[in-house]
Amino acid sequence: MSSPAAVTCAAPDCEQPVHRTNRTGRPAIYCTPACRPSRNRTPRQNQITVEVEHPEASPDGRPTERVWAVRLKRGDQIVEIADGLGWPSATALARALDNLLDARPRPAAPGRPTP
């Protein structure tokens, strides 16, 4: 019987040993679930994120800190959806895009009459 080499946690800042069980399936590489990279914390590679930022240059002479651009971003790819928006319009658009991209089913809002 060969004793398996001591395995340390795969998380970059963690030196804890990993307790491997005899369960079938993929062996654990992190000591605790807390060390596992969270899918929610870091965007997945193919995930599109919505960004609201000041544009590099103002489209119409207003100071750039008064105008907002809404962009969709995935990895290095950025698509600008709108430019020269005020803050309310920019955040409303970003929220609508967020809802569109978020495939998770949401419970219907209570009390809303059905058509």
Find the binding residues for Zn ion in span 16-55 (CB under 5 A): 16, 31, 35
Shortest Cβ distance from residue 11 to Zn ion (Å)?
A: 4
The least CB distance from residue 44 to Zn ion, in Å, is 21
> Phi-psi bin for 61: left (phi > 0), alpha (psi -120 to 50), beta?
left
- The CA distance from 70 to 80, in Å, is 6
Q: Which stretch binds Zn ion (CB under 5 A): 14-22, 41-49, 88-96, 102-110?
A: 14-22
φ/ψ (deg, to 5) at 98: -60, -45
90 is written with which tokens? 């920019």
- Residue 80 DSSP SS3: strand
Q: How far is the CB of 23 from Zn ion (least distance, A)?
A: 18
Selected range binding Zn ion among 3-11, 40-48, 66-74, 75-83, rule: CB under 5 A: 3-11
Which residue, 42 or 77, has its beta carbon nearer to Zn ion? 42
In whole angstroms, give the CA distance from residue 112 to residue 4: 59
Site residues (vs Zn ion, CB under 5 A)? 9, 11, 14, 16, 31, 35
